[in-house]
Amino acid sequence: MRFSALTQRIAGDGAAAWDIHYRALALQEQGEDILLLSVGDPDFDTPVPIVDAAVESLRGGNTHYADVRGKRTLRQSIARRHQQRSGHAVDDSQVIVLAGAQCALFSVAQCVLNPGDEVIVAEPMYVTYEAVFGACGATVIPVPVRSENGFRVQPEDVAARITPRTRALALNSPHNPSGASLPRATWEALAELCVAHDLWLISDEVYSELLFEGEHVSPASLPGMAERTATLNSLSKSHAMTGWRVGWVVAPPALAAHLENLALCMLYGLPDFIQDAAVVALEAQLPELDAMREAYRQRRDLVCESFAGCPGLRALKPDGGMFVMVDIRATGLSAHEFSNRLLDQQGVSVLAGEAFGPSAAGHIRLGLVLDTPQLQDACQRIVRCATELMEARNA
C-alpha cells in the first residue's frame, strides 16, 4: 500500500532521537537499575489544588464539548498572565487553547507556512521542530549556535540566512536543549529583522517560568512585533502538568481566527474539566511552583558542581529550563557512542546532542528530573564513565 509524502517529512532523526530512551525504559521494565535523564518530564506531582479542581469539575458533569477556542475563563486567565509576564496587552479573543505547546507549534506552522517557505531556526533545536515544519512542506534553515557562545543565537547569523523565501523565525527562550536565554538587546535586533523583512516570529516560551538568571523578554512586546508574533506556552513544565496537555497560542486577531478554524477540524476543543483545572493553575497562589523552580535551580548547580574539574566533562551552566548540556568531546567518543556506553555500563539514560543538530555534536543533554540523591548517583556514574574513558585514552 502507498503512503503520502507527509510520512517521510515527519520521520527521520527527530523521531529516532528517542530510541535510547525507549531502550532505557525497556531495561528498567526488566528490573535493571536505570536512572532516566533522557526526557523532560518533571518528577513532581501536579499541585493538589489543580487535581482537586479537575475532580470537582468531573463530578460536576463537565464532560461535554467545550468552546473550540478554549473556555473563555481560561482564555482570560491566559491573557492576564501573558500581559503580567510580558507587558503585551491582549484580549482573550487572541488566545487559542490547544493540546500542549507541541500542538500549538504544529497549528501555527500550518497557518503561516506554505510549501517551499523557509523558516529560520536556532540549531541545536528541539527534536520535533524539523518534522513539525516539514509537515507543512516548509524548509528549516538552521542557524548554528555554538556551545562556545553559550548556545545563544547571534542576530547577524540570522540576517545572513534571510532570503526572499524566508517566511518565519522560530526561537525558544530559554532554549531547549541548552537552557540559554536571549538578552533584550538580541531580541530587539531580531525584531528589527522581522519588521524589515516582514517575517513571522514563532516564540516558544514554554520554559520562561523556569528562568533562574536574567530577564525573560517576550518579543511580542517589542515595537512592531505584536502583529507578527505567535507566542506559545503551556502548563507542562512550570506546573508539572505534561500529561494534562494544556498549551496555547497568543496571536494577532487574524491568526487567532485561522487557528480556531484549524482547531475546529482537528481537535474540537480540550476536555472541559481539564480547562477548569488549568484556570486554577493560572489563578491560584501555589507555593509548589516556586518550590519546583528552586529545586530545578539547585539540581542544575549540583550537576555543574559534580562535573567541575572532571577530565572529559564540561557542563554548560544554563540560564533556565530543566536540562544541562555537557561537553564530552574530550573523551574521544561521539555523544551517541558515549550515551550508549553510559546506559550499558552505568545504567544512566541521556540524549545524545546530535539528535538536536550538528552544533550539539559531542554533547549530551541530561534532564534535571530526579530528586537530589538519585541525581547525585547519576552524576557519579557519569563521572565514572568519563574517567574510565580518559584513563584508557591516556594509557
pLDDT per residue over 265-301, tens digit each?
A: 999 999 999 999 999 999 999 999 999 999 999 999 9
Dihedral angle, C-alpha 75, 66, 200, 80, nearest 10 °? 0
Are residues 203 and 220 in contact, defined by beta-carbon separation less than 8 angstroms?
yes
State in Å, rounded, how far the first CA of the chain is from the last one: 56
Does position 190 have pLDDT exceeding 90, yes or no? Answer: yes
Q: What is the pLDDT of residues 215-241, one digit of tens each?
A: 999 999 999 999 999 999 999 999 999
- At 16 the pLDDT is 64
What is the pLDDT at residue 191? 98
Q: Are strands 139-144 and 118-123 parallel, antiparallel or unpaired?
A: parallel
The torsion of the CA quartet 252, 256, 258, 262, rounded to 10 degrees, works out to 150
SS3 166: strand
Q: Nearest 5°: phi and psi at 97?
A: -90, 130
Same CATH fold, 62-283 and 6-45+287-394? no
Q: Is the pLDDT of residue 62 over 90?
A: yes
Q: What is the pLDDT of residues 95-136, one digit of tens each?
A: 999 999 999 999 999 999 999 999 999 999 988 898 999 999
Whether the CB-CB separation of 166 and 199 falls below 8 Å is answered with yes
Q: Report yes or no: 133 and 113 within 8 Å, Cβ to Cβ.
A: yes
Of 144-153, 331-340, 353-362, the range with the highest mean pLDDT is 331-340
Report the SS3 class of residue 178. Answer: coil
What CATH class has 62-283? alpha beta
What is the percent of the chain where pLDDT is above 70? 98
**Residue range 351-376: mean pLDDT, rounded:** 93
pLDDT of residue 12: 62
Architecture of domain 6-45+287-394: Alpha-Beta Complex (3.90)
* pTM of the predicted protein model: 0.93
Domain locations along the chain: 6-45+287-394, 62-283
